[in-house]
């Protein structure tokens, strides 16, 4: 039962990620879609982490491996930053990484706090 659920969750989040990439094209070279996706992913990861004790194992694994595993974009974020730097946009590349790391850590903490307060 776990494998099909992970596949379905992976399909859903890959589709959502694609739609966000289409809706938020890189403006001036800044990959806004990747940043938004990573912030959303980290909020959800914080929520799932806080709720882990009340989730059954199948649901927890489907959420983390199936949905968040495909939705989060760490490799894309780093690839885009390297491309910006190699393209002569060093400040933009560094800013992208700084914004991504700072905002995603805060987003994960926010998701955890929200879920902890509700539970």
Assess contact for 24 and 37: CB atoms under 8 A.
no
Residue 66: per-residue pLDDT = 81
CA nearest to 40, candidates 118, 113, 100:
100
Residue 100 has pLDDT above 80, yes or no: yes
Q: Tell me the DSSP string of the chain.
A: -HHHHHHHHHHHHHHHHHHHHHHSPPBTTB-HHHHHHHHHHHHHHHHHHHHGGGS-HHHHHIIIIIIIHHH--HHHHHHHHHHHHHTT-HHHHHHHHHHHHHHHHHHHHHHHHHHHHH-
Assess contact for 5 and 58: CB atoms under 8 A.
yes
Q: Where are the domains of the chain?
A: 2-73+104-118
Residue 29: per-residue pLDDT = 82
Tens of pLDDT along 54-95?
888 888 888 888 888 777 888 888 899 999 999 999 999 999
């Amino acid at each position: 039962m776990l494998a099909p659920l992970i596949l379905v969750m992976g399909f859903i989040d890959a589709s959502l990620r694609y739609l966000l990439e289409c809706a938020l094209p890189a403006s001036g070279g800044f990959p806004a879609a990747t940043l938004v996706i990573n912030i959303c992913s980290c909020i959800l990861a914080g929520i799932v982490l806080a709720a882990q004790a009340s989730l059954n194992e199948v649901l927890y694994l489907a959420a983390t491996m199936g949905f968040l595993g495909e939705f989060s974009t760490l490799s894309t974020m780093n690839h885009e930053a390297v491309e910006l730097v190699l393209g002569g946009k060093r400040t933009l590349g560094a800013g992208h990484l700084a914004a991504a790391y700072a905002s995603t850590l805060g987003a994960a903490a926010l998701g955890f706090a929200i879920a902890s307060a509700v539970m």
